[in-house]
C-alpha cells in the first residue's frame, strides 16, 4: 500500500503509510528479523546488485520493516526520502558529516542537545571542519557568522532545555542565499507541530527515541530530505558505515507512530495547563512554554509551530537546593533525563544533561542552578497538577 496514493491526513498516514504486506496478509506490520536475502538464481543476484531488479540485498543497506518505518516517516514529514538510524545521534552525525568536508564551515545555534554540541565543537574540527556557535534567536548573529566556506547551518527548535525558538524560515533563506544547507533537529517540536521542510530547511533529523517511540522501549533515529541529497550524499555513507536501525526497533517505532498524534495532543494539552499553573506559583521565578503569550519568541512560535509543546522549562527560586527539593518531593513525575515519554519526567540540566558545559556556557543558554525541564506524560492532568502542587508545598 503506497502512502503516495492519497493525500492522507497525518492520523491516517501514521496507521497505514508505508505498509508492505507479505503473502500472509497480516494486519500488523511484520518484523523481518533477517540479515540477508536469497535469490532464485545467480542471474537474479547479479541483477539486484546491478540495481536492475528491485529488492533487498543486506539489512545494513535496507530491510523491509525498516523500509516501512522510513516510508511512514516520509508520509508524515512530507519528505521524498528517509534513512532510519540506530539512534538520534547517529542521524545527526550522518546528516552533518554527509553535508560537509575538510575545509568547510558550519554555523550552528549554540543551544543544542549536549551530544550535538560535542559533534560540532569537538568531533568536526578533528577532521578540518570549522564551526561557529551563535545565539540562534537573532538572525543577525547567523548572518555575521557566515564565511566564504560556510556550507551548513544546524539548529534545534525549540531548544533543549530552555525551549528557545529559532526562526527556521529566516535561517533557511540565509542558507539558500549562500548555497548552504540547513539541517533542523526537530525532536522537541515533533513532526506534528512543526514542518521544517515546508519552512525551507533541507534536511530534518529526529531522535525517534523520544516522542516517536514515546514509551521508553528503544532507541532510533531518522534523516529526511529530498531524494537527490539522500542518493548523492547519504546513500553510500549509510551503506558502508552502518548506522542502520534494527528491524525490531523499526517495528516498535512503527507501532509508536500509530498513536503519536493521540499522545502528542494529550501531552501538549496537559503541558499547557501545567505551564499556566506553574506560572502562577510564587516559588517559580520563570516558566518558558511555547504557546504562552510570555514566551520570549512568541511571534515566531505562532508563525512556525502548530501546537504548544510537551515540554516545559521552569526556574525554581532558591537555586539548586530548591530545584532538588522539588524533584525529590514529586511522586508521579519521575527524575529522568529522557523526554517525550508516556511517563512524566523531570530533569535538572545543570547537574545532568548540561553538566559538561562551563558555568559561562550554561549561563549563556539560560540554564541556571534552579532550572528544571519537565517532560509531560500521558497521566491524568489533574493527578499531575496535584502532584506538582503537593511537591511545591513539601519543598517550601
Ligand X SMILES: *Cc1c(COP(=O)(O)O)cnc(C)c1O
Measured from the CB of residue 339, what is the shortest distance to ligand X in angstroms? 6
Residue/partner pairs of 262-265 with CB below 8 Å, 24 or more apart:
263/211, 263/214, 263/342, 263/378, 264/190, 264/192, 264/193, 264/211, 264/307, 264/310, 265/307
Rule CB under 6 A: which of 324-343 touch ligand X? Answer: none
**Using rule CB under 6 A, residue 264 touches ligand X:** no
Classify 256 as helix, strand or coil: helix
CA-to-CA dists, residue 101 to 149, 150, 155, 248, 309, angstroms: 10, 11, 19, 33, 35
Candidates 221, 261, 272, 307; binder of ligand X (CB under 6 A) is 221
377 binds ligand X (CB under 6 A): no
* 209 touching ligand X, by CB under 6 A: yes
Instruction: Report the DSSP pairing between strands 105-109 and 203-207.
Output: unpaired
Of 52-60, 203-211, 229-237, 310-318, the segment contacting ligand X by CB under 6 A is 203-211
Cβ of residue 120: shortest distance to ligand X, in angstroms? 12
Give least dist CB 112 to ligand X, A: 8
Alpha-carbon gap, residue 35 to 145, rounded angstroms: 45
Q: Give least dist CB 223 to ligand X, A.
A: 12
Report which of 126, 135, 129, 176 is spatially closest to residue 155, judged by C-alpha positions.
Answer: 135
Minimal distance, residue 106 CB to ligand X, in Å: 16
373 binds ligand X (CB under 6 A): no
List the one residue from 187, 234, 312, 350 that touches ligand X (CB under 6 A).
187
How many angstroms separate the first and last alpha carbons of the chain?
Answer: 57
Distance CA 217, CA 209 (A): 8
* Min separation Cβ 94 and ligand X, Å: 12
What minimum distance in Å lies between the beta carbon of 91 and ligand X?
Answer: 8
* 214: contact with ligand X by CB under 6 A: no
CA distance 11 to 365: 36
The strand order across the sheet containing 284-288 reads 284-288, 311-316, 371-375, 345-347, 334-335
Which of residues 117 and 391 has its CB atom nearest to ligand X in the complex?
A: 117
Selected range binding ligand X among 42-50, 83-91, 227-235, 326-334, rule: CB under 6 A? 83-91
In the list 63, 87, 244, 344, the residue contacting ligand X (rule: CB under 6 A) is 87
Burial letters 13-52, b for 16+ CB under 10 A, else e? bbebbbbeeeeeeeeebbbbeeeebeeeeeeebeebeeee
| Choices 32-40, 73-81, 84-92, 283-291 (CB under 6 A): range interacting with ligand X | 84-92
For position 207 contacting ligand X by CB under 6 A, the verdict is yes
Shortest distance (Å) from residue 255 CB to ligand X: 17
The interface mask with ligand X, positions 106-125, x = CB under 6 A, is: -------x-xx---------
Using CB under 6 A as the binding rule, whether residue 371 contacts ligand X is answered as no
* C-beta closer to ligand X: residue 218 or 395: 218
In the bound complex, what is the minimum distance in angstroms from residue 186's beta carbon to ligand X? 8
Does residue 160 touch ligand X according to CB under 6 A?
yes
Is residue 350 within 8 A of residue 369, CB to CB? The reply is yes
- Judged by CB under 6 A, the residue of 66, 76, 84, 89 near ligand X is 89
Q: Is 389 left (phi over 0), alpha (psi -120 to 50) or beta?
A: alpha
Does 185 bind ligand X (CB under 6 A)? Our answer is: yes
Cα(254)–Cα(20) distance, rounded to whole angstroms? 12
Among 219, 253, 312, 333, binds ligand X (CB under 6 A): 219
Q: Are 154 and 116 in contact (CB under 8 A)?
A: yes
What is the rounded distance in angstroms from the CA atom of residue 254 to the CA atom of residue 281?
A: 40
Cβ(253)–Cβ(212) below 8 Å: yes
Q: Are strands 371-375 and 345-347 parallel, antiparallel or unpaired?
A: antiparallel
Q: How big is the site for ligand X, counted in residues (CB under 6 A)?
A: 17
User: At closest approach, how far in Å is the CB of 85 from ligand X?
Assistant: 9
Cβ-based neighbours of 26, under 8 Å, separated by 6 or more: none
Q: Is 210 in the site for ligand X (CB under 6 A)?
A: yes
Q: Indicate the SS3 state at residue 356.
A: coil
Does 158 participate in binding ligand X (rule CB under 6 A)? no
Query: Where along the sequence are the contacts to ligand X (CB under 6 A)?
Result: 87-89, 92, 113, 115-116, 156, 160, 185, 187-188, 207, 209-210, 219, 221
Amino acid at each position: 500500500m503506497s502512502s503516495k496514493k492519497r493525500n492522507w491526513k497525518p492520523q491516517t498516514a501514521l496507521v497505514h503509510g508505508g505498509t508492505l504486506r507479505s503473502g500472509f496478509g497480516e494486519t500488523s506490520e511484520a518484523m523481518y528479523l533477517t540479515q540477508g536475502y536469497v535469490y532464485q538464481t545467480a542471474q537474479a543476484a547479479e541483477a539486484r546488485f546491478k540495481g536492475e531488479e528491485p529488492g533487498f540485498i543486506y539489512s545494513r543497506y535496507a530491510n523491509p520493516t525498516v523500509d516501512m518505518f522510513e516510508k511512514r516517516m516520509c508520509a508524515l514529514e512530507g519528505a521524498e526520502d528517509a534513512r532510519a538510524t540506530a539512534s538520534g545521534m547517529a542521524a545527526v552525525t550522518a546528516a552533518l558529516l554527509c553535508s560537509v568536508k575538510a575545509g568547510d564551515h558550519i554555523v550552528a545555534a549554540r543551544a543544542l542537545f549536549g551530544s550535538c554540541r560535542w559533534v560540532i565543537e569537538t568531533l568536526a574540527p578533528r577532521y578540518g571542519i570549522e564551526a561557529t556557535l551563535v545565539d540562534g534567536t537573532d538572525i543577525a548573529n547567523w548572518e555575521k557568522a557566515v564565511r566564504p566556506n560556510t556550507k551548513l547551518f544546524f539548529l534545534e527548535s525549540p531548544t533543549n532545555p530552555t525551549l528557545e525558538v529559532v526562526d527556521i524560515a529566516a535561517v533557511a533563506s540565509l542558507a539558500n542565499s549562500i548555497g548552504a544547507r540547513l539541517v533542523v533537529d526537530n525532536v522537541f517540536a515533533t513532526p506534528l507541530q512543526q514542518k521544517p521542510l515546508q519552512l525551507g530547511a533541507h534536511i530534518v533529523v529526529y531522535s525517534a527515541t523520544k516522542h516517536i517511540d514515546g514509551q521508553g522501549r528503544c532507541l532510533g533515529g531518522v534523516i529526511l530530505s529530498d531524494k537527490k541529497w539522500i542518493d548523492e550524499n547519504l546513500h553510500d555513507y549509510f551503506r558502508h558505515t552502518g548506522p542502520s536501525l534494527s528491524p525490531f526497533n523499526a517495528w516498535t517505532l512503527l507501532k509508536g507512530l500509530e498513536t503519536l498524534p493521540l499522545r502528542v495532543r494529550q501531552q501538549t494539552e496537559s503541558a499547557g495547563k501545567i505551564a499556566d499553573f506553574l506560572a502562577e506559583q510564587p516559588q517559580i521565578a520563570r516558566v518558558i512554554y511555547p504557546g504562552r503569550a510570555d514566551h520570549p519568541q512568541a511571534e515566531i512560535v505562532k508563525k512556525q509551530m502548530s501546537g504548544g509543546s510537551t515540554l516545559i522549562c521552569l526556574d525554581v527560586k532558591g537555586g539548586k537546593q530548591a530545584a532538588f527539593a522539588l524533584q525529590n518531593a514529586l511522586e508521579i513525575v519521575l527524575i529522568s533525563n529522557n523526554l517525550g515519554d508516556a511517563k512524566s519526567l523531570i530533569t535538572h540540566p545543570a547537574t545532568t544533561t548540561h553538566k559538561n558545559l562551563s558555568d559561562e556556557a550554561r549561563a549563556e543558554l539560560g540554564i541556571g542552578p534552579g532550572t528544571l525541564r519537565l517532560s509531560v506524560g500521558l497521566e491524568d492532568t489533574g493527578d499531575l497538577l496535584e502532584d506538582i502542587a503537593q511537591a511545591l508545598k513539601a519543598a517550601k
